[in-house]
Chain A
């Protein structure tokens, strides 16, 4: 009787498992698994890649995509010096109200939020046929698959397969759900001249940009993992010590 009941329970679990596997068979192909400097419990940020990625963001993406949660001063997190940060900030202009009460402009400072390409979401959407280019501050975390997904989208532009009906104003992308994406292919070979001389292929730029975007979404990651190791090892050690003490204390009971 008991065996029958347990078998029934296991069967139900198995059925659920099988169903899950079947369900995973989706239209969109599996994401290519990239190697990231920040992956895994020992992950660290490749600062050079992040800086190149910032250059790609600044030169290409910032024309359409905002980065509203970052300030220029945050760029010290990818290794930019105070001078470099001031220069980047100063290259942007901000609208302010002057002392005479009239609208005027001023150059940016490190304390400023990243300059957005459009004054608000509606203006941005209006420029792209009603489709809003999403803010990129936490985009990597906002998509299933995270950095692998972003990288796949950036490198996934191909010609549509024969017979595929591509709607007007949309572009075919291998990994975008439904395959029809509003954004035209953003990166092309040698579009950017990297300051450190690395060859700017689409693959390289996609990799660097994704590293940068991962950092913008998770700036605390490196510190978090370092503290994490100390915490886990410390509590593990305390677990060992308290266990020994407990065994000792309880051994007196008969």
Chain B
């Protein structure tokens, strides 16, 4: 028949729907039978966890918005009303508040996986870049979300970060006035931040869709960094990875529940329990923990514009690492010279986080500058250089035969005992 999809679904009702709108076939192909490398480790759980976190944040966020009032004189009290008078309001609020932190933990580990296993390399450049876009939109969403309770840290954090844009030459101050909708962070700012905070997560949903499309064209990377050669190297996503992701989800939810129910304010700042006061600046203006490394980079440069450029640059540089990394080998498992430096990068980001939490004095200034210097050194110097000068370890023949073949050994399916070429097409 013209135009109808050839559905293989058995149930007649589902078949009727599927032949006109093949959502069931699509689910079966993309999440049912989809061939997935058989050698994933638990780092590969974090993409699915991120998707679950996005759903949790949207559901709890929509519920909170039913009771939240985005007006400067009413916002703080409306949040407290949710905590006290709305049935289970405290629970929805704490899940949402700590969910922001959990979302960033999951995404930062997900990014680490990408760096360690070369998931950004050919042919997954767009997968990586949509990911960086997602990180940026997440950060904007989280920043605006933190302003909404209109506590001291909400107000002053918003003031500091929006003021940064004044560093832009010529048009800076006009941009800031435009962002504020006034001459300081005030009610117009709060109201537009609420509107955008509600909007951006749905933009994230759209970009996640593109991210998954990009993934399903190239297929997933795997810990060995070599492409699957055939069905012997893959297993269907369902049931193997659905059950593994379910297990990972349960472990994650146990940790998440422990934080929400036993230490819901541990990751927060006491100052945000004080209603915003434009006439009183808190002793320490500190962003939420997931922004601390970037805050440290910002403050490590004495020049205001320089600090802003480096702070945004630290995220923008991520866009181009598929081209900065010159190594022919994907997974850092086989890059003995380069791999330790990934851990130095992680350490420097952690140190930068600690720097961001302290006053910029004494040793913290030095550590901040060293950390910032290493961060950019890693991407701009080490990545391009090491790919060229390094001698990678021999790669395994295939995923299902991970036993390494020493170069020159005879026998085996490939002539001359050749090892698998790096970054082969599947």
Q: Are any A and B Cβ atoms less than 8 Å apart in their complex? A: yes
Query: Are A12 and B362 within 8 A (Cβ)?
Result: no
Query: Are B77 and A69 within 8 A (Cβ)?
Result: yes
Q: Does A143 sit within 8 A of B, measured CB to CB? A: yes
Q: Does A128 sit within 8 A of B, measured CB to CB? A: no
A-B contact pairs, 30 of them (CB 8 A): A2-B340, A5-B344, A6-B343, A6-B344, A10-B347, A13-B351, A16-B351, A16-B355, A20-B358, A41-B262, A69-B77, A70-B84, A74-B84, A138-B273, A139-B273, A143-B270, A144-B270, A146-B270, A217-B273, A219-B84, A228-B260, A228-B261, A231-B257, A235-B250, A236-B254, A238-B250, A239-B254, A242-B250, A245-B243, A249-B239
Give 9 closest A-B pairs by Cβ, nearest first: A228-B261, A142-B273, A239-B250, A231-B257, A242-B247, A235-B254, A9-B347, A220-B90, A238-B250
Query: Are A19 and B271 within 8 A (Cβ)?
Result: no
Q: Does B315 sit within 8 A of A, measured CB to CB? A: no
**B residues engaging A (CB < 8 A)?**
38, 77, 80, 83-84, 90-91, 94, 235, 239-240, 243-244, 246-247, 250-251, 253-254, 257-258, 260-262, 264-265, 270-271, 273-274, 336-337, 340-341, 343-344, 347-348, 350-351, 354-355, 358, 362-364, 367, 370
- Determine the chain B residues whose CB is within 8 A of the CB of A146 once the complex forms: 270
Q: Does A63 sit within 8 A of B, measured CB to CB? A: no
- Determine the chain A residues whose CB is within 8 A of the CB of B370 once the complex forms: 12
**Chain B, residue nearest A231 (CB):** B257
- Determine the chain B residues whose CB is within 8 A of the CB of A143 once the complex forms: 270
Find residues 48-72 in chain A having any chain B CB closer than 8 Å to their own CB: 68-70
Chain A contributes a number of interface residues (CB within 8 A of B) equal to 49
Query: Are A9 and B343 within 8 A (Cβ)?
Result: yes
Of the candidates A10, A15, A238, A253, which one forms a contact with B367 in the assembled complex, judged by CB atoms under 8 Å apart? Answer: A15
- Determine the chain A residues whose CB is within 8 A of the CB of B84 once the complex forms: 69-70, 74, 219-220
Query: Are B80 and A232 within 8 A (Cβ)?
Result: no
Query: Are B90 and A224 within 8 A (Cβ)?
Result: yes
**Chain B, residue nearest A4 (CB):** B340
Query: Are A246 and B243 within 8 A (Cβ)?
Result: yes
The CA of A235 and the CA of B340, in the complex, are separated in Å by 35
The CA of A23 and the CA of B364, in the complex, are separated in Å by 10
Query: Are B262 and A12 within 8 A (Cβ)?
Result: no
The CA of A20 and the CA of B350, in the complex, are separated in Å by 14
The CA of A10 and the CA of B341, in the complex, are separated in Å by 13
Query: Are B243 and A5 within 8 A (Cβ)?
Result: no
Of the candidates A224, A236, A249, which one forms a contact with B243 in the assembled complex, judged by CB atoms under 8 Å apart? Answer: A249
Query: Are B235 and A232 within 8 A (Cβ)?
Result: no
Query: Are A225 and B261 within 8 A (Cβ)?
Result: yes
The CA of A124 and the CA of B94, in the complex, are separated in Å by 32
Q: Does A141 sit within 8 A of B, measured CB to CB? A: yes
Of the candidates B244, B273, B354, which one forms a contact with A141 in the assembled complex, judged by CB atoms under 8 Å apart? Answer: B273
Shortest Cβ distance from residue A194 to the other chain B in the assembled complex, whole angstroms: 27
Given the known interface contacts A2-B340, A69-B80, A224-B90, the answer about A242 and B262 at a Cβ–Cβ threshold of 8 Å is: no
Query: Are A232 and B344 within 8 A (Cβ)?
Result: no
- Determine the chain A residues whose CB is within 8 A of the CB of B258 once the complex forms: 228, 232
- Determine the chain A residues whose CB is within 8 A of the CB of B90 once the complex forms: 220, 224
Shortest Cβ distance from residue A62 to the other chain B in the assembled complex, whole angstroms: 19
Given the known interface contacts A12-B367, A19-B363, the answer about A239 and B343 at a Cβ–Cβ threshold of 8 Å is: no
Of the candidates B80, B261, B363, which one forms a contact with A138 in the assembled complex, judged by CB atoms under 8 Å apart? Answer: B80
- Determine the chain B residues whose CB is within 8 A of the CB of A229 once the complex forms: 261
Q: Does A1 sit within 8 A of B, measured CB to CB? A: yes
- Determine the chain A residues whose CB is within 8 A of the CB of B274 once the complex forms: 134, 142
Find residues 1-49 in chain A having any chain B CB closer than 8 Å to their own CB: 1-2, 5-6, 8-10, 12-13, 15-16, 19-20, 23, 41
- Determine the chain B residues whose CB is within 8 A of the CB of A253 once the complex forms: 38, 235, 240
**Chain A, residue nearest B337 (CB):** A1
